[in-house]
Chain A
Amino acid sequence: MSDSPALARREPAAAAALAEHFQDLKQQQTAHVFGLWIFLATEMLFFGGLFAAYLVYRYLYPDAFVEAASETEIVIGSINTLLLLTSGMTTSLAVKAAGEGDHGAVSVLILATLVLGFLFLGAKGYEYVLDLHHHLWPSMPDFKLADPPTRIFWSLYWLMTGMHAVHMSIGLGTWIVLLVMVRRRSFPLVEASRIRIAGLYWGFVDMMWLIIWPLLYLVGRP
């Protein structure tokens, strides 16, 4: 693939987008998506470790987990679910618009994703402030809850949501770079692998939240 925007504009788009070690664009795109799915499989196992830890401790201390989970901010958690689901749709549409070669629509949809993503992180940050204010950091001497295993839940809460936020930040960084590239026409949209790959990664982040939301927020309701 050509790195020079000028060259990409001059050459026929398909030829410019095709790396020399691939036969055609279809093969190239499949290789890109295949590579990302391998990466996502390892990511599933990364989060899977946290989910397995949750499962074990939930099994060992069922009552403490329900008690601890009732302290999470269900309103903020649910608003964040809404924000992430919406951004999942905008990224999916961005991938589709890229396939149509529509620079304008891709830019708008990436921008919408960025706004939703930053809103998510903002809400998450506010939630963290509230949690700390309520003495819910597990190593605090004045930790809010008396039963020791509730601290295990809250360790998992900070780890899961923190790791998720790190992934969100990486995703947002990727979208910012892609937005600049799309605005500058740095790559021909006929080879939309970059956007497709970012969309897949974002979909994964979306999916992980769909597991975290019931485990940390929904479980503690009356």
Chain B
Amino acid sequence: MTRRDTPPRQEEGRGFARRMPRILFPELLVYGLLLLLGGLSLGLAFAPLGQPTHILVALAIAVVMIGLVLTFFMDLNRATAIILLAAASGVIFLMVLFVLTMSDYLTRNVAPDEPPSVGDASAVSLRTSLSR
């Protein structure tokens, strides 16, 4: 370990060339997969899928791509439990943010017959937009 850290300059380059296949292996494969998925996502963007499906498909592919980046480029496949927990905490709190936010917006039109308060223009416009 000590010797490898300070090798003579000349040997360094040749050493890398010799180790190349082992060094490149999972990364290059994952890169190829990412390009494939990216191309698929781009192709499907021009396919006539209809609007909600369209974005959902693109995001589903994005999630797979992010999974690959996390696992192989950000080394979560070799991470210890505490690091996995730290990484997961971000996602979990993100879920909380989305669920709490949408639990408001998705339930604003549950009582559509109730008239808005007098002069409340914003409520009227919101209701109109929601009913679209």
Which residues in A have some Cβ–Cβ distance to B below 8 Å? 9, 12-14, 30, 33-34, 37-38, 40-45, 48-49, 51-52, 55-56, 58-63, 66, 74, 78, 81-82, 85-86, 88-89, 91-93, 95-97, 100-105, 185, 188-190, 196, 199-200, 203-204, 206-207, 210-211, 213-215, 217-219, 221-222
Contacts and interface: CB of A to CB of B under 8 A. Distances in A.
B5 A101 contact: yes
Interface in B23-75: 23-24, 27-28, 30-31, 34-35, 38, 41-42, 45-46, 48, 51-52, 54-55, 58-59, 61-62, 65-66, 69-70, 72-75
A14 B66 CA distance: 34
Contacts of B105: 56, 59-60
B112 interface: no
B87 interface: yes
A80 to B, nearest CB: 11
Contacts of B132: 63
Interface of B: 1-2, 4-7, 9, 12-13, 15-16, 19, 23-24, 27-28, 30-31, 34-35, 38, 41-42, 45-46, 48, 51-52, 54-55, 58-59, 61-62, 65-66, 69-70, 72-75, 79-80, 82-83, 86-87, 89-91, 93-94, 97-98, 101-102, 105-106, 126, 129-130, 132
